[in-house]
Amino acid sequence: MLRSPMHHHYLVWLTFLVSVVLIDADPPLTGQKATFGSTLLSKFSERGKFQAADEVRLLRSAPGKEHKEERGFHFVDKVKSVFTKGTPEKLQKWLQQEKSVDTVYKNLHLNKPGYPFDNPHFAAWVDYANTLSVKFPKMSAISTLTKHYGDEMLYRIIQLAKRNERTEKLAIGLESKQMQQWLTNRKDPDDLFRLFQLNDDASKMLENSKFITWTEYVDDLNAKHPDEPTWMYSTITKYFSDEALLKMTSIQKLSGEKSKAMATKVENDWFQANLQNQRTPYEVFQGLGFGKTTDQLLDVVVSDSVLIRTWIDYMNEFNRRNPTKKTTMIETFTKSFGDLGVSNMLDTAKMG
C-alpha cells in the first residue's frame, strides 16, 4: 500500500518524539527497553549527518561597546570568511541583505517537523545566525529555536545531539547559548532543577553532573544580581527535607575531595539561607527530624551525630546574630517534648 509523504513525515516526527522522551531515562542494561532505546539512539547517530564544514565554529559572544564603530567592517569580513564556496548562493545573498534569522529559518524549511540536526542546512543556518548576531545581538539561533520548540523540548534535542560525535560540537555551542539565554531571562532555578530531573532521587543528586551545571547557574545568577540572592536551599528543600539533604551531604563528604567540596557548598548554602530567613533553632530542630521521640534524640546526642553538631553550630550562630532571641538546647528540647519528657531523657542519660 502506498504511503503519502505526509504519512512519512508523521512517522519521522513520532519516532523523534519517542527518542526525546527517552533521553534522560536510564533503562536497564538488558531487556527489551534497553534494546529499543539503544536502537533509536543509534539510528539518530547514523541519521544525524549534516552537510557542513568539518570545523563547526562554536558560538561567539558579541564584541564590547568599544568595538561598535568597527562592526560594519568586521561584519563584511565575516560574510566573506564564514561561508565557503560550497555554501548555497542564496544563503550568502541573504546574509548580505541582512535577512532575519527567523526568515532564513523558514526559508530553509527548518520549521518543518523533524529532528533539526538531520537537516543538511541546519549547521549553516546556525553559522548564519551567529554571524548576523554580531551586528544584531537580539537575533540568535537559540532564540529562534526556543520559539519553535520551547525550552524543554529544545534542551532534550540538544542533549540528544551531544551523544553523536558528528553533532556534538554544534550541540555544545547551542547548549552554552541556551544557558546564557536562561541567565539573561532569569529563568527560575526551580524550573531548571526539574528540567534536569534532579528532583527524582536525593541519594544520587550530588553525583549528577547536571547538578554541578545547576549550581553554576545559581552562582552566575547571584553574580549578575548580587542584591537579590538566590539560594540553592530554596529549590532543593521543595523536594527533599532538611534531614534528607544533610544526611546526603554528610555521606558525600566521604567520597573524595571533589564530592566533599560540593557537599560543603550545599551545606553552607543551607546554613546561610536559614540564617538569612530568620529560621529559629526550634524550626531547624524539627526540620532535621529531632522532634520525634526523646529516645531518638538521646541516641543522636550520645552518638554525637553530624546532624546534631550541625544543629548546635546553627543555634550558636543564630544566637550570635540575634542576641534578643537567644535560646538554648534545653529550651528547644523542652519546647519539643515538655518538662517531663526532657527530665526522663536526662535520667536515662545518667543511667546509661
Residue 88 confidence (pLDDT): 64
Phi and psi at 9, nearest 5°, equal -60, -35
- The DSSP call for residue 25 is -
CA distance 84 to 81: 7
Residue in 55, 182, 64, 52 with CA at minimum distance from that of residue 134: 64
Residue 352 confidence (pLDDT): 62
- Listed as own residue / partner, the contacts of 12-19 with beta carbons closer than 8 Å and 24 or more positions apart are 12/113, 12/114, 12/115, 13/113, 13/114, 15/40, 15/43, 16/113, 16/114, 16/115, 19/44, 19/160
Other beta carbons within 10 angstroms of residue 32's beta carbon come to 9
CA distance 13 to 7: 10
* Domain boundary assignment for the chain: 5-185, 202-351
CA distance 317 to 320: 5
Size of the chain in residues = 352
CA distance 142 to 133: 11
Could you tell me if 297 and 290 are in contact, meaning their C-beta atoms sit under 8 angstroms apart? yes
Sign of CA dihedral 164, 170, 172, 177: negative
Could you tell me if 172 and 162 are in contact, meaning their C-beta atoms sit under 8 angstroms apart? yes
Residue 9 confidence (pLDDT): 42
DSSP string, 136-197: -TT--HHHHHHHHH-HHHHHHHHHHHHTSTTTHHHHHHHHHHHHHHHHHTT--HHHHHHHTT
For residue 325, the number of C-alpha atoms closer than 13 Å in the C-beta half-sphere is 14
Residue 43 confidence (pLDDT): 36
The stretches in the chain having pLDDT less than 70 are 1-88, 352
DSSP string, 28-90: -SSSHHHHHHHHHHHHHHHH------SSPPPP-PPP-GGGGGGHHHHHHHHHHHHS-TTS-HH
For residue 248, the number of C-alpha atoms closer than 13 Å in the C-beta half-sphere is 21
Residue 96 confidence (pLDDT): 87
**What Cα–Cα distance (Å) separates residue 4 from each residue in 1, 7, 17, 297?**
10, 5, 20, 71
Residue 85 confidence (pLDDT): 46
Residue 62 confidence (pLDDT): 39
Other beta carbons within 10 angstroms of residue 134's beta carbon come to 17
Could you tell me if 181 and 143 are in contact, meaning their C-beta atoms sit under 8 angstroms apart? yes
